[in-house]
A = this chain, B = another copy of it.
Amino acid sequence: MSSRELTTTSYAILGLLAVKPWATYDLARQMTRNLHFFWPRAESNLYAEPKRLVADGYARSRREATGRRARTVYEITPSGRKALERWVLEPASDFRLEAEPLVKLMYAMHGTKEALLDHLHECVAEGEARRQALRAIFAEYVAGDDPFPERVHVNVVCYRFIWASATALRDWATEMIGIVEQWPGPTGPADREPSIAALRELLAS
């Protein structure tokens, strides 16, 4: 009962526990599979978080044996359920995007045109990779293989956002590659007009 403020990561785990009891490893699996797209956390952190939930009285743990091996299974408590319900009703904090590739792009003039294009190709690859990962998940749903049918509709709402983001990333990068390829170098074209024209077009949209 250390009564600290729970973090979003805590609630992410707690939300999983609200569905059913999980072993730590499966919690981590589930997190990296689903929430990783919009709440990425290191695995070690996922192993630590349930312990904190127990310390705060939001979860209970019990030891089980799988074969020769001990595993800890966590289960949500009524108090945990209440905390979760309270939390989802509160307003959420803003989206937060950290995009190092964009920072590098921003300072691309201090590098080479090839490096600039490399970064953009990386963006295309990342967008494409996410779409692939999502395709695999979607296929399971379509095949009826999803473990929690009662959650399908909410999950799909989330997935559609990730899909849209990944697609936007890929398409943007693809278009930018076409443009940058025509620059004489990373310092760009002497003429600012095409860039300004692009902005004018966005303003009109």
Interface residues of chain A, those whose CB is within 8 Å of chain B, are 8, 11-12, 15, 18, 34-35, 37-40, 81, 84-85, 87-89, 91-112, 115, 118-119, 122-123, 126, 134-135, 138-139, 141-142, 149-161, 163-165, 167-169, 171-172, 175-176, 179-180, 183, 186-189, 192, 194-196, 198-200, 202-203
Contacts and interface: CB of A to CB of B under 8 A. Distances in A.
B153 A110 contact: no
Copies in the complex: 2
30 contacts: A35-B106, A88-B108, A88-B111, A89-B115, A92-B100, A92-B103, A92-B104, A95-B99, A96-B99, A97-B97, A97-B165, A98-B98, A102-B158, A102-B161, A105-B157, A106-B154, A107-B154, A134-B202, A138-B199, A138-B202, A149-B192, A150-B188, A152-B188, A153-B188, A153-B194, A156-B195, A157-B179, A160-B175, A161-B176, A164-B172
